């Protein structure tokens, strides 16, 4: 199964511009025969908690329809980051577009204390995408919670992917944890981050993959926009 990590520079609050950039990246991934593409945390709006209330989207927002069309037409799974309106408030979510299926979400279940004024935890979910491989999803802070990766393992995850919004220092703190998850459960671990300004900080990039022995295989730079492709059979 071929995975694509899309490292973008979201424009804060500009959903239209970010959607167009995402569509360009999805088309690039399609040209490389990717089976799944994932973007960073809240990639459609930028990671901007103070703006989230005004930017939050409905799951069925028609602006997202082109992603479903690409998924259906090219047999690709697309995972984009967005603040999604729910009954209880706003979730930090990955909107999932799977071929010939209704769009769905995986929402962040473990929130950092700084996020609690703006977001609510997602409903309990195993976060598994059933595809050629069983893919477990994580969103940023969740990767630091042992129970999260334990749940993924108990659900027979074969690949673990974290969508994050991390600074350079944040990446440095969390990369050892990603390597630890890979080694502990003997599965490939992938991380997709952003670059550019967000929430008064700067994205640290370095999206990459660790093999099942916990060794870093390849990563993008701290400021590079682009994407990486990984074949699960080589991880």
**What's the pLDDT tens digit per position in 185-202?**
999 999 999 999 999 999
Residue 164 domain-assigned? Answer: yes
Residue 131 domain-assigned? Answer: yes
- Which domain covers residue 49, as residue numbers? 2-230
**Residues 6+ positions from 139 with CB-CB distance below 8 Å:** 41, 81, 92, 93, 94, 106, 107, 108, 162, 163, 164
Spatial contact of 48 and 198, defined as CB atoms under 8 Å apart: yes
CATH number at residue 64: 3.60.110.10
Residue 41 domain-assigned? Answer: yes
Number of domains comprising the chain: 1
Beta carbons within 10 angstroms of residue 221's beta carbon: 13
Residue 135 domain-assigned? Answer: yes
Residue 103 domain-assigned? Answer: yes
Residue 158 domain-assigned? Answer: yes
Residue 172 domain-assigned? Answer: yes
Helix (H) or strand (E) holding 201: strand 201-204
pLDDT in tens, the chain (235 residues): 999 999 999 999 999 999 999 999 999 999 999 999 999 999 999 999 999 999 999 999 999 999 999 999 999 999 999 999 999 999 999 999 999 999 999 999 999 999 999 999 999 888 999 999 999 999 999 999 999 999 999 999 999 999 999 999 999 999 999 999 999 999 999 999 999 999 999 999 999 999 999 999 999 999 999 999 999 989 9
Tell me the C-alpha distance between 38 and 57, whole Å: 19
Residue of 8, 91, 26, 7 whose CA lies nearest to 55: 91
Residue 235 domain-assigned? Answer: no
Beta carbons within 10 angstroms of residue 12's beta carbon: 15
Taking only the tens place, the pLDDT of each residue in 84-135 is: 999 999 999 999 999 999 999 999 999 999 999 999 999 988 899 999 999 9
Tell me the C-alpha distance between 141 and 215, whole Å: 21
Residue of 40, 18, 14 whose CA lies nearest to 205: 40
């Amino acid at each position: 199964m071929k995975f694509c990590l899309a490292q973008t520079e979201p424009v804060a609050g500009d959903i239209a511009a970010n959607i167009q950039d995402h569509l360009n990246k999805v088309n690039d991934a399609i040209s490389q025969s990717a089976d799944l593409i994932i973007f960073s945390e809240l990639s459609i709006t930028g990671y901007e908690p103070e703006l989230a209330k005004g930017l939050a989207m409905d799951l069925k927002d028609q602006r997202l329809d082109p992603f479903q069309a690409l998924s259906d037409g090219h047999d690709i799974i697309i995972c984009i980051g967005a603040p999604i309106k729910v009954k209880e408030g706003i979730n930090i979510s990955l909107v999932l577009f799977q071929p010939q299926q209704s769009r769905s979400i995986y929402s962040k279940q473990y929130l950092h204390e700084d996020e609690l004024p703006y977001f609510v935890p997602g409903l309990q979910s195993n976060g598994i995408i059933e595809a050629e491989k069983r893919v477990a999803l994580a969103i940023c802070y969740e990767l630091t919670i042992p129970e999260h990766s334990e749940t993924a393992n108990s659900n027979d995850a074969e690949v673990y992917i974290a969508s994050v919004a991390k600074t350079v220092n944040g990446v440095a703190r969390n990369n050892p944890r990603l390597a630890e998850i890979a080694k502990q459960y003997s599965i490939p671990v992938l991380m997709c981050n952003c670059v550019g300004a967000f929430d008064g900080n700067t994205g640290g990039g370095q999206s990459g993959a660790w093999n099942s022995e916990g060794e870093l295989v390849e990563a993008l730079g701290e400021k590079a926009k682009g994407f990486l492709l990984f074949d699960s059979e080589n991880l």
